[in-house]
Amino acid sequence: MTARRVCIHTDGACSGNPGPGGWGALLQWNGNERELSGGEDQTTNNRMELRAAIEALNALKRPCAVDLYTDSTYVRDGITKWLDGWKARDWKTAAKKPVKNADLWRELEAAASRHQVRWHWLKGHAGHEGNERADALARQGMKNWQCQ
């Protein structure tokens, strides 16, 4: 049986860094769509970018072939270029400092391992419909944590 092909767009947002943050994800498959969003009180933009990818991948109920689009080079490069080195160095950077957000990198690795993921970077705020919708979802997720 062929794995279901899913297109995912993710984004994170933060008001202050750290500060209130939100994440958003748009999942698309066979003409269907699902929107996800959430947020946290005190967080960083990078944590919200990671959380968006984790939540999107975890929302898939069975193994899928995934094209995941992010405007975060941190997420794309971390999972495709840096992760193996961090693990080999016991979660230390090449400069021998602890990897920031190691908890979320572990979660992302576990979530991605259930699927065949192709990681794509695209320029944010450049009019790409999927990215703009993920950005709007991230800002929506952040609203619950901002002071009114």
71 given a catalytic annotation: yes
The yes-or-no verdict on residue 148 having pLDDT over 70 is no
Strand 4-14 to 64-70 pairing: parallel
The active-site residue, picked from 9, 22, 40, 49, is: 49
pLDDT in tens, 28-79: 999 999 999 999 999 999 999 999 999 999 999 999 999 999 999 999 999 9
39 given a catalytic annotation: no
9 given a catalytic annotation: no
d(Cα 20, Cα 144) in Å, to the nearest integer? Answer: 9
d(Cα 100, Cα 110) in Å, to the nearest integer? Answer: 17
Which domains are present in the chain?
4-143 (3.30.420.10)
11 given a catalytic annotation: yes
d(Cα 55, Cα 10) in Å, to the nearest integer? Answer: 9
The active-site residue, picked from 38, 71, 78, 115, is: 71
125 given a catalytic annotation: yes
Averaged pLDDT for residues 76-99: 96
What pTM value is reported for the model?
0.95
Residue spans of alpha helices (H) in the chain: 45-59, 73-77, 83-88, 102-113, 129-143
d(Cα 73, Cα 82) in Å, to the nearest integer? Answer: 11
77 given a catalytic annotation: no
